[in-house]
Amino acid sequence: MRGRLFPVLLAWTAVAAGCITRPPTIAHVHIGHAITGVHVTPGHLGYVPLAAQRADEALAAARDATHAPDLTVLQRAVAAVALACDNPNEFGVKQALTLAANHIAFAATSADASENVIRFAPVFKASIAPVLERCDYIVLLSQDVQGSPAFRDASVVAQEILKNAEDNVRGVNPGDAAGAVRPGGGMTQIRADVDAMVARERPPYRTVDQWYLFNLVRLPNGLWVFDRLSRGGNIDGYK
């Protein structure tokens, strides 16, 4: 009887071992923070989808501003555009994209990073620069609107804000860059570039489990580890 059971036990052990989930690479956890989820963001969104959401909110508010019936309504809508673009407390487009770039850089400098990720990090940082500049420009224009005493003048500025909010979503082609800070992509192109990078990963990138996303910590010596106490944050203030 024992002779019959022993092969069965070996087979079961092999199956059970195959079911053990291995931790993701540190590089892939950082990528997960950029594209899947972070414990500090509204709704635990990843930084790139959050930036895209904020860019859409800015565009919607900019459109409201251009259809405002009076100066007060226009100024209120423009203030909403500015907050969607630059808001340290609620992660505006500028903050979300900057943090996404930080996390992709963390991924690229991880010991287990692929050449694909290492090459992509500086490309991503360069690709978001036009969006960040448009955010700064929109905030500057919004200040002009808030200080404007004339509805007609504020309406002209609101049109310029709308143009830049549109460019932050759809990007700018080299042939139609007039009125923009500089030619460059928007969130549509940025998300496509990130998706393409993820698709190139070998071994393939798999969606990172939330526990790993929320419990990666950086020790004072710079080493990244998983917090087995599941405190859902970083002892070194990591976002």
Quote the Cα angle for 69-84-62, to 5°: 30
Residues in the chain: 239
Closest CA to 191 of 168, 208, 215, 157: 168
116-133 pLDDT, tens digit each: 999 999 999 999 999 999
pLDDT for 218: 86
| Residue 194 tokens, joined | 């990130």
Strand partners, 225: 217
Degrees to nearest 5, angle at CA 206 with 10 and 11 = 5
The domain locations on the chain are 29-226
Segments of the chain scoring below 50 in pLDDT:
1-20, 177-182, 235-237
Residue type, 9: L
Within 13 A of 146's CA, how many CA atoms are on the CB side? 13
pLDDT of residue 2: 41
Is residue 232 within 8 A of residue 49, CB to CB? The reply is no
pLDDT at residue 126, rounded to an integer: 94
Q: What is the pTM of this model?
A: 0.84
pLDDT of residue 168: 97
Q: What confidence score (pLDDT) does residue 169 get?
A: 96
If you write DSSP's letter for every residue of 207-235 in order, what string do you get?
A: PPPHHHHHSEEE-TTS-EEE-TT--SS-T
